A and B are shown apart, each in its own frame.
Chain A
Amino acid sequence: MTREVRLDRLVGREVYTANHRRLGRLEECRAERRGTGWVITEYVIGAAGLMERLGLGVRLIVGLERAAGYVARWDQLDLSNPDRPTLKCAIEDLQRR
C-alpha cells in the first residue's frame, strides 16, 4: 500500500530502536537517481545530522571535528508509521558517522 507523505514533516522526527529507545532525530535523507526518478538510499540520524547542519565552524569551536551519530540504509528504517520511524535492525548494524 503506497502512501504519499511530506518529507519535511518526517525530517526532525525522533527515531526509535526496535525496543522503543530513542536513537536520535532524523536529520537528513540521501537520495540517488534510479532510472527516471530519485529514491532515498540512506537516512542520517541523531547528532550526526544536527552537527552536519551546524557546520564546520561551530564544530571546530565546540571541539568536535568528526561528528557523532548514525547512518541507516533505507531497508534498516521502518517508516510504516511516519510519525514514529523505527529501526528494523540492531544499533550495532548501523554505520557510525
Chain B
Amino acid sequence: MDVVRDVLDKSVIDRNGREMGRVDGILVELRPNQPVHLTAVLIGPAALGDRLHPAVGRLVRLIERSFGVDQDRPARIAFAGIDAIDTKIRLRMTITETAVAAVEQRLRSWVLRLPGSR
C-alpha cells in the first residue's frame, strides 16, 4: 500500500457507510532500529491547517476553541480501527463514536431553526 497515494486525502466512511470526512493527516511512530509504524489517521480542519503551516493549524484550533468545538479534535482514529482501504477508507466504528461531526452538529442546530428546514 502506498500511504500517500492510497490513504492521505481519501474519503472516510464509517461502518454504516456515512461520510466522515477525509484523511487530513497521518500519525506514525518512529522506533529505533525498527520500521516506522503507522499509528492513526487524523480527520479535521486543524490537521489540514497543520499541513499548510503550523500557524494555520493553530489558527484553526483557536477558531474551534472559540466556538466550543475543539474537544477531541482533530479526530484520531487508530489504524487498527480501519476495516478496509479501497476507493474509500471504511472504519470499524460509527461516526457517533468520534468527534468528527461536531461542526456539522453545531451548524445543524442553527439550520433546524430556519423555517421549512426538512
Contact = CB atoms under 8 A, between A and B. Distances in A.
A10 B25 CA distance: 11
Interface in A59-96: 74-75, 79-80, 82
A92 to B, nearest CB: 22
A7 B51 CA distance: 10
Most buried by A among B5, B8, B25: B5
Contacts of A3: 29-30
Contact of A7 (B3, B31, B35, B80): B3
Interface residues of B, number: 25
B28 A4 contact: yes
A37 B37 CA distance: 8
Contacts of B50: 6, 9
B80 A37 contact: yes
Interface string A32-55: 101011111100000000001100
A3 B31 CA distance: 7
Interface of A: 1-11, 27-32, 34, 36-41, 52-53, 74-75, 79-80, 82
Interface of B: 1-5, 8, 25-32, 34-39, 42, 50-51, 79-80
